[in-house]
Amino acid sequence: MSVLTHSAAWRALQAHAASLEPQTLSQLFAGDGGRAQRLSAEFQGLFLDYSKQRLTGETLDLLVALAEQQGLAGWIGRLFAGEAVNHTEHRAAYHMALRAPPEATMQVAGRNVVPAVCEVRDRMRAFAEAVRSGEWRGASGERITDVVNIGIGGSDLGPRMVGKALAPLADGPRAHFVANVDGAQLHAELPRLRPESTLFVVTSKTFTTQETMANACAARDWLRATLGEAAVPKHFVAVSTNAAEVQKFGISLDNMFGFWDWVGGRYSLWGAVGLSLMLNLGPSRFDQLLAGAQAVDEHFRTAPFGQNLPVLLGLIGVWNRNFLGLADQVMAPYAQRLEKFVPWLQQLEMESNGKGVDRDGCRVDYATTPVLWGDVGTNSQHAFFQMLHQGSGVHPVDFILVREADHPYPRLNQLLLANGLAQSAAMMQGKDAAEVRAELIAAGLQGAALEAAIPHRVFNGNRPSSTLLLPRLDAWHLGALLALYEHRTFVLSVIWNLNAFDQWGVELGKQLAGRTLQAMEGQGAAGDASTAQLLVRLGY
C-alpha cells in the first residue's frame, strides 16, 4: 500500500464509507431537517448545494482532515507564491497572474510578473480597440468583420467555450474557431468569410504545433490567392513566444502577443490566448471575465476549507471516486450557451489529473481522475439520463443552473430550471415498487399485466448530485465558474499527490504522429504491424 492509502485519514474515510453505506439519501434527508442548509455554501452569488451527495457532516470533517494531512493549505500557498509546482518541467503554474490587477505583486523566481502581464494586456487592448473602431483595416482598406482563432487544445477550447457562452454580449467582429487538422472544419468556415475583412489569430506557443500550423498555412494560401503575399501582415497576427517562426510565417513582431512558460495551455485563455475574445467581446467584458476569476482566486486562497467552493468540489470528487468507487463524473449545465463547457472541462481535468504515477514517480494504488463527460440539459435528458436513473451503475452529476435568462421567453426559462431541479430530485428520491404499484392501479392496470409492469418503472434513487446556481451568465460569473473548476482540479491533484500541470501523454502522441507521417511520405517504416497494415489500407 502507498503512504496515502495506508494513512490514518484515508483509513478513517474507508471505515466511515462502510458505516454510511446502508443509509440512503432519502433516509439522510428524513433524519435531518437542516441537511440542505448545512450542506450548502455560497460565494458572491455562486451557490453550491451538495446535500444530495451521499455524505454527512462527519464525512466532510474526515475529508477536511485528509486535505490537511495532504498539506492542501501549503500547496495552495506554493501555488500562489509562484513556486515550481510543475516539478517535472521546473515551472510555476501561475495562470492566476494573468487575471491579477495591475497593483498586485505576484512573483516567479523572485521577479514580479504582473507588470509584464499588464504590458501584454495593454497591447492586446490597444490592438482590439484599433480593430473594433476601424482604425486597423485589412490590406484593401475594409474594416475587419470576422476574426478566426486558429489553435488547438488549450489554444482553442478556452476561447471557443467563452465565445459561445458570451455570444449574446459580443459587439465586435464575429468570432470563428478552427482547431481540427481535418480540413473539413476549415473548409466549412472559409466560404462564410471574405479575405478582405477577415483577421486570423494564429495561436501556438511554439508556432510549430502541427495541426495549428497546417491550418494556418492553408488559411494563408486562401488569403494570398485573392489579396497576394503583401496582404498577410494585415490579416494575420500571432499569439506565440517564437519570434523567429512568427516572422518566417510573414507576421510582424509588432503583432505578436506573447505569454510565458509558467502558464499551461489549458489554463491560458486569461492572457494573450484570449485575444480573439477581446476582439469579439471588447476589452471591458474581457476585464470582467478576469475579475470574476480573480475573485474566486482570492476565495480559494483565503476561505476556510468547509466554506471554500473549489475545496468542497474537490473533496466531494475524492469521496465519490475513492471511497464510493464511482468511476465517472457527469456534468449537466442547464444553459445552452454552456454547450462547450464540458469539452473545456474534459481537457482541464483529464489532462491535468489523468496520471498513474504520483509526484515522486511511484505507481499509485488508488484511483485518480474519473472519466468526465456530459452535455447540456434538457437535451441530455433525452439521451443518457435514462442510464443515470435506471442503469446498473451510479454516475454522480454536477448540475449547473442559471437563474436569470438572457432571452425574452420567461416560460422557457422556468421550464428549463424546473427540469434541472426535477432531475436532481429524481436521482436522489427514486420511486419504489409500492409507489409504482399505486400509480398503475390508479391508471387501471391489474393482474399479471400490473405485476409485469412494476419492475420496469422502479427507480432505485440514492444517486448523488450537486447543484451549482449562478445568478446570470455574464462575463464576471463565467470567469468565476471557470476559476472554480480550475482550482477544484488542483485540489484533486493535491489529495492524489499528482502533478496537475504536465501532460507527457500528449507529447507521446505527437511524437508517434510525426513518425507515422514520415512513414506515409516514404521516409521510414511503420512502428508496428497493425499500423503498417492500416497504412496500406489507406493507400500509403
Is 85 a member of any domain?
no
DSSP H or E segment with residue 126? helix 114-133
Instruction: Calculate mean pLDDT across residues 186-200.
Output: 97
Residues 124 and 51 in one domain: no
pLDDT of residue 210: 92
Contacts of 453 (CB under 8 A, 6+ apart): 436, 440, 445
Residues 417 and 439 in one domain: no
- Residue 14 maps to which CATH number? 3.40.50.10490
pLDDT of residue 250: 96
Residue 1 has pLDDT above 80, yes or no: no
Is 296 a member of any domain?
no
Out of 382, 407, 456, 521, the active site residue is 382
- Per the structure, the complete domain to which residue 412 belongs is given by 8-69+304-429+463-495
DSSP H or E segment with residue 238? strand 236-239
Place of cell 460565494: 43
Residues 228 and 240 in one domain: yes
For residues 394 and 325, what is the distance between their CA atoms, to the nearest angstrom?
Answer: 9
Is 272 a member of any domain?
yes
pLDDT of residue 82: 97
Residues 447 and 311 in one domain: no
* DSSP-assigned states of every residue in 255-322: GEE---TTS-GGG-TTTGGGHHHHHHH-HHHHHHHHHHHHHHHHHHHHS-GGG-HHHHHHHHHHIIII
Residue 393 CB neighbour total at 10 angstroms:
10
The answer to whether residues 331 and 373 touch, using CB atoms and an 8 Å cutoff, is yes
* Residue 510 is among the residues annotated as catalytic for this protein: yes
Residue 414 CB neighbour total at 10 angstroms:
11
Residues 425 and 437 in one domain: no
Q: What is the residue-averaged pLDDT of the chain?
A: 97
Length, in residues, of the chain: 540
Q: Is 454 helix (H, G, I), strand (E, B) or coil?
A: helix
pLDDT of residue 530: 96
pLDDT of residue 508: 85
Contacts of 186 (CB under 8 A, 6+ apart): 178, 215, 218, 219
* DSSP-assigned states of every residue in 495-530: HTT--TT--HHHHHHHHHHHHHHHHHTTSS--SSHH
Number of domains, the chain: 4
Is 467 a member of any domain?
yes
Residues 482 and 350 in one domain: yes
pLDDT of residue 200: 98
Residues 148 and 268 in one domain: yes
The three-point CA angle 501-117-172 to 5° equals: 100
Q: Where are the beta strands (DSSP E) in 94-164?
A: 107-108, 111-112, 146-150
pLDDT of residue 527: 84
In the DSSP assignment, the letter for residue 100 is -
Residues 253 and 137 in one domain: yes
| Residue type at position 86 | N
The answer to whether residues 333 and 378 touch, using CB atoms and an 8 Å cutoff, is no
pTM of the shown model? 0.96
Using a pLDDT cut of 70, give the percent of the chain over it: 100
**510 confidence band (pLDDT: 50, 70, 90):** confident
* Residue 234 is among the residues annotated as catalytic for this protein: no
pLDDT of residue 2: 87
The answer to whether residues 235 and 145 touch, using CB atoms and an 8 Å cutoff, is no
The answer to whether residues 495 and 57 touch, using CB atoms and an 8 Å cutoff, is no
Residue 219 has pLDDT above 80, yes or no: yes
Please say which residue of 237, 262, 289 terminates a domain: 289
pLDDT of residue 227: 98
For residues 96 and 82, what is the distance between their CA atoms, to the nearest angstrom?
Answer: 10
Residues 196 and 342 in one domain: no
Instruction: Calculate mean pLDDT across residues 223-250.
Output: 97
Is 44 a member of any domain?
yes
Residue 248 CB neighbour total at 10 angstroms:
10
Is 1 a member of any domain?
no
Out of 189, 196, 349, 351, the active site residue is 351
Instruction: Calculate mean pLDDT across residues 5-18.
Output: 98
For residues 224 and 389, what is the distance between their CA atoms, to the nearest angstrom?
Answer: 55
DSSP H or E segment with residue 198? strand 198-203
Residues 104 and 50 in one domain: no
Residue 418 CB neighbour total at 10 angstroms:
12
Residues 200 and 134 in one domain: yes
Instruction: Calculate mean pLDDT across residues 517-532.
Output: 91
Instruction: Calculate mean pLDDT across residues 177-189.
Output: 97
